Structure 1
Amino acid sequence: MFRSLIIIVGLLFSFNAMAEKVATLSVQQALLTSKAAGAFREKLKAELSGEQKQLADLEAQAKKIQEAIKKGQGTQSNEVQDQQRVQFQKAFGEYQRLGQELQQKQRQREDEFLKQMQPKLDAVIRSLIDSEGYDMVVNKQATIYVKPELDITARVVELLDKQ
Structure 2
Amino acid sequence: MKTPKSSASARRPSSLRARLVRLSAFAVLTTAAATAWAQTKVAVVDTQRAIMETEDGLRMQATLKKLFDSKQRELDQKQNQLEQERADIEKQKGALSQEALQRRAEKWQREMMALQQVFVEYNKDLQKKQNELTQPIFAKAMGLIRRLATQEGFDVIIDKQAVPYVRSDLDVTDRVITMYNGGTAPAPAKEGAPKQEAPKLGAPTLEAPRP
| Alpha-carbon separation, structure 1, partners of 2:66 and 2:54 | 19
Cross-structure match for 2:144: 124
Deviation beyond 4 Å, 4+ runs, structure 1: 71-77
In the alignment, structure 1 residue 11 sits paired with structure 2 residue 11: no
Cα-to-partner distance string for 1:11-48 (whole Å, 9 max, x where unaligned)? 11112221532111222232123221221121233345
Contact 1:22 1:150 in 2 (8 A): yes
- Structure 1, gaps ≥5 residues long: none
- Structure 2, gaps ≥5 residues long: 1-19, 184-211
Report the TM-score, using the length of structure 1 for normalisation: 0.81
Q: Which amino acid aligns with 1:10?
A: L
Identity %: 23
* Structure with a larger share of its residues in helix: 1
Any residues of structure 2 matched to 1:128-147 within 5 Å, and which?
128-147=148-167
Determine which of 80, 86, 89 is the counterpart of 2:109: 89
Per-residue deviation, 1:59: 1.6
Any residues of structure 2 matched to 1:66-85 within 5 Å, and which?
66-69=86-89, 71-72=90-91, 75=94, 77=96, 78-85=98-105
Contact 1:72 1:81 in 2 (8 A): no
Contact 2:57 2:137 in 1 (8 A): no
| Alpha-carbon separation, structure 2, partners of 1:29 and 1:82 | 54
Report the TM-score, using the length of structure 2 for normalisation: 0.65
| Alpha-carbon separation, structure 1, partners of 2:174 and 2:108 | 49
Q: Which amino acid aligns with 1:123?
A: G
**Aligned-pair RMSD on alpha carbons?**
2.5
| Alpha-carbon separation, structure 1, partners of 2:167 and 2:64 | 36
Cα-to-partner distance string for 1:33-69 (whole Å, 9 max, x where unaligned)? 3221221121233345443322111122223334445
- 1:145 is paired with a residue of what secondary structure? coil
